[in-house]
């Protein structure tokens, strides 16, 4: 019998979640709501270990789009309805900026003669633009195409969502330990080649060594996952973003843009993604680069030149952004998966290692797919199997 096929299933007693990004914090939330936790006969300890700040990586610096048309489908289907439920139960609109948003592709040419594109449904006085999309330069617009039907795209503020998930989990007894996990400890099986997790060594924020005994580990360290599980084929891809307080409020649109504008004798093509948020904030991000992954979220380098260019680009296509105030200039690392089923994160038990569960590599849809991932993880850990979705494609054995 392999360690990953232990029968009968016995509930965990000591769970440690490594990484307080959106995947770790949302997993803590779902575990803390599991019925087993309120059973007086089965005390279960849940600890979340974080090396830097809560949501200090991509989870606090992402755009926050939540889409029915995202991927992979099995995880999206499990996640969208959970986002709706969480927002309803905990006042997500006020607490983490949950709302439905229109989403479209905008193409333009600034400083040239705009060609009229296909007129979308709802197009109004701004030519090819929908009537309420009044904050982009209408005369520069070449085309606007909606990317989804109404009701298929929503958004959250990713930092506020992640921090709320953790706070709600802490209300139910989840403990936060501030420290960097340095290694996972294993105990060999007496009769097979398998091993079982037995502890996590860590260094706290004062540099003091610590140890947490465990029977279950949820490894949700985003792009840093291979530092603790080298065989996980995950890498980090740096991306810059800014936030702007526009000069006048902007309507609820998430825009995937592509536009050109002249710089001297040259023409620049820019492709920022620009998301209006509630509370008069606009988020924009630039394409990624190959800067190597640093030790932790606090060591991420922000290239001011990239942020300056992003400020300039978005200002070219929108006067309200040009006249607005830049409120954040930041960078973070997208967790990419380098092998296995395309576009899929790694979610499930590691074969041959009892008690080790991976939930990492969510690429560009980790905000969208966190609730489905977390619900599935809580079922796997507490009940022994995932029933909310068929996530067999995402099982670690398909990746390493
Ligand atoms: C520019 C950009 C825009 C994006 N926009 C969207 C979007 O609109 N919608 C969407 O769905 N997704 C989006 N994403 C993707 C999304 O941000 C990620 O998929 C998601 O945040 C990954 O979450 P995570 O918890 O796995 O990783 P992370 O957020 O990286 O969290 C991992 C955590 O683990 C901690 N950690 C690492 N090593 C250790 C250790 N040894 N011990 C303890 N703690 C450790 C880190 O400090 C970190 O806090 C975007 C990503 C980027 C880069």
User: Which CATH number belongs to the domain containing residue 317 in this structure?
Assistant: 3.30.9
User: Other C-beta atoms within 10 Å of 181: how many?
Assistant: 24
For the chain, what is the mean pLDDT? 93
Same domain, 247 and 283: yes
Indicate whether 170 and 261 sit together in one domain: no
Phi, psi of 259 (to 5 degrees): -150, 160
| Crossing angle (nearest 10°) for helices 22-32 and 158-171 | 30
Predicted pLDDT of residue 7: 44
Pairing of strands 175-188, 45-50: parallel
Which of 286, 312, 335 marks a domain boundary?
A: 335
193 Cα: distance to centroid of ligand 1 (angstroms): 33
Q: Looking at the chain, how many residues does it have?
A: 400
Same domain? 249 vs 323: yes
The angle subtended at Cα 256 by Cα 67 and Cα 371, nearest 5°, is 20
Determine the residue of 271, 345, 366 to mutate for testing ligand 1's pocket, defined as the one with the most ligand atoms within 8 A of the Cβ atom. 366
Q: How far is the CA of 88 from the centre of ligand 1 (A)?
A: 24
Q: Is the pLDDT of residue 241 over 60?
A: yes
Q: Please tell me the predicted confidence (pLDDT) of residue 116.
A: 45
Please tell me whether residues 48 and 162 are part of one structural domain: yes
Positive or negative, the Cα torsion across 100, 105, 110, 113?
negative
**pLDDT for residue 113:** 52
- Report which of residues 238 and 125 the model is more confident about: 238
82 vs 126: which has the higher pLDDT: 82
| CA nearest to 224, candidates 367, 47, 360 | 360
pLDDT tens for 285-343 read 999 999 999 999 999 999 999 999 999 999 999 999 999 999 999 999 999 999 999 99
What is the mean pLDDT of the segment spanning 159-176? 98
Q: Is the pLDDT of residue 170 over 80?
A: yes
The yes-or-no verdict on residue 122 having pLDDT over 80 is no
Ligand 1 centroid from CA 46, angstroms: 21
Residue percentage of the chain with pLDDT more than 90: 89
Distance of alpha carbon 136 from alpha carbon 142, whole angstroms: 12
- In 189-264, which ranges are E strands? 195-204, 209-213, 216-219, 234-245, 253-263
**How many whole angstroms separate alpha carbon 172 and alpha carbon 385?**
23
Confidence of residue 114 (pLDDT cuts 50, 70, 90): very low
- Interval between CA 231 and ligand 1 midpoint (Å): 19
Question: Which H helix or E strand runs over 367?
Answer: helix 366-383
Say yes or no: 243 and 375 in one domain: no
> Do 20 and 160 fall into the same domain?
yes
Of 303, 318, 335, the residue at which a domain comes to its end is 335
| Angle (CA) 28 34 39, round 5° | 120
CATH number at residue 345: 3.50.50.60
Domain final residue, candidates 335, 353, 377:
335
Report the pLDDT value the prediction gives residue 112, as an integer from 0 to 100. 58
Sign of CA dihedral 48, 54, 58, 63: positive
Residue-wise pLDDT for 2-48, tens only, equals: 444 444 578 899 999 999 999 999 999 999 999 998 877 778 999 99
Find the domain containing 305 and state its range.
100-151+236-335
Any atom of ligand 1 within 6 Å of the Cβ of 372? no
Q: Is the CB of 218 under 6 A from ligand 1?
A: no
Mean pLDDT, residues 356-361: 98
383: which 2 tokens? 């009940």
Q: Comparing 193 with 337, which gets the higher pLDDT?
A: 337
Q: How many structural domains compose the chain? A: 2
User: For 307, what's the count of Cα atoms within 13 Å in the CB-facing half-sphere?
Assistant: 17
Q: Residues 135, 172: one domain?
A: no
Q: How far apart are CA 53 and CA 41, in angstroms?
A: 34
Residue 22 zone, left/alpha/beta (φ > 0; ψ -120 to 50; rest): alpha
- pLDDT at position 186 over 90: yes
In this prediction, residue 193 carries a pLDDT of 83
In whole angstroms, what is the distance from residue 332 CA to residue 241 CA?
8
Taking the centre of ligand 1 as the mean of its atom positions, its distance from the CA of residue 117, in whole angstroms, is: 37
Q: Are residues 39 and 105 in the same domain?
A: no
C-beta of 51 in contact with ligand 1 (< 6 A): yes
Among 134, 131, 117, residue whose Cα is nearest residue 319: 134
Does 371 contact ligand 1 (Cβ within 6 A)?
no
Q: What whole-number distance in Å separates Cα of residue 391 and Cα of residue 377?
A: 10
Tokens linked to 57: 């990586």
Mean pLDDT confidence for 337-355: 97
- Are 172 and 38 part of one and the same domain? yes
Q: Distance from the CA of 296 to the center of ligand 1, in angstroms?
A: 12
**Pair 203, 317 in one domain:** no
Encode pLDDT of 198-214 as tens digits. 999 999 999 999 999 99
**Protein residue with its CA nearest to atom 20 in ligand 1:** 366
Give 44-90 pLDDT, tens digit per residue.
999 999 999 999 999 999 999 999 999 999 999 999 999 999 999 99
Q: Do 170 and 63 share a domain, yes or no? A: yes
Is the same domain home to 140 and 261?
yes
pLDDT tens digits for range 141-155: 999 999 999 999 999
């Amino acid at each position: 019998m392999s360690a990953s096929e232990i029968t009968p299933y016995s509930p965990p007693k000591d769970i440690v979640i490594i990484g307080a990004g959106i995947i770790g914090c949302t997993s803590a939330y779902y575990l803390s709501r599991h019925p087993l936790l309120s059973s007086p006969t089965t005390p279960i300890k849940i600890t979340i270990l974080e090396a830097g700040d809560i949501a200090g990586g991509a989870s606090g610096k992402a755009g926050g789009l939540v889409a029915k048309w995202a991927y992979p489908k099995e995880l999206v289907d499990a996640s969208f309805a959970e986002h709706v439920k969480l927002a309803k139960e905990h006042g997500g609109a006020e607490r983490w900026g949950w709302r439905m948003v229109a989403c479209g592709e905008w193409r333009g040419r600034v400083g040239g003669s705009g060609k009229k594109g296909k007129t979308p449904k709802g197009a109004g006085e701004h030519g090819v633009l929908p009537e309420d999309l009044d904050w982009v330069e209408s005369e520069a617009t070449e085309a606007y195409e909606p990317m989804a039907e109404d009701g298929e795209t929503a958004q959250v503020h990713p930092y506020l969502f992640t921090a709320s998930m953790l706070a709600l989990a802490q209300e139910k007894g989840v403990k936060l330990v501030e420290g960097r996990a340095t290694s996972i400890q294993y105990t060999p099986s007496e009769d097979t080649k398998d091993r079982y997790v037995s502890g996590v060594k860590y260094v706290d924020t004062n540099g003091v060594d610590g140890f947490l005994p465990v029977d279950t580990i949820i490894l949700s360290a985003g792009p840093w996952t291979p530092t603790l599980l080298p065989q996980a084929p995950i890498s980090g891809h740096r991306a810059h973003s800014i936030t702007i307080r526009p000069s006048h409020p902007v309507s609820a649109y998430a825009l995937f843009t592509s536009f050109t504008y002249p710089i001297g004798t040259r023409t620049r093509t820019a492709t920022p993604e620009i998301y209006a948020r509630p509370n008069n904030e606009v988020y924009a991000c630039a394409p990624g680069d190959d800067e190597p992954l640093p030790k932790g979220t606090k060591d991420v380098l922000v290239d001011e030149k990239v942020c300056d260019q992003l400020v300039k680009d978005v200002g070219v296509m929108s006067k309200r952004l040009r006249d607005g105030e830049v409120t954040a200039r930041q960078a973070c690392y997208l967790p990419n998966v380098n092998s296995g089923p395309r576009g899929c994160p790694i979610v499930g038990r590691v074969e041959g290692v009892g008690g080790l569960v991976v939930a990492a590599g969510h690429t560009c849809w980790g905000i969208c797919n966190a609730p489905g991932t977390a619900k599935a993880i809580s079922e796997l850990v507490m009940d022994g199997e995932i029933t909310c979705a068929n996530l067999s494609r995402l099982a670690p054995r398909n990746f390493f």
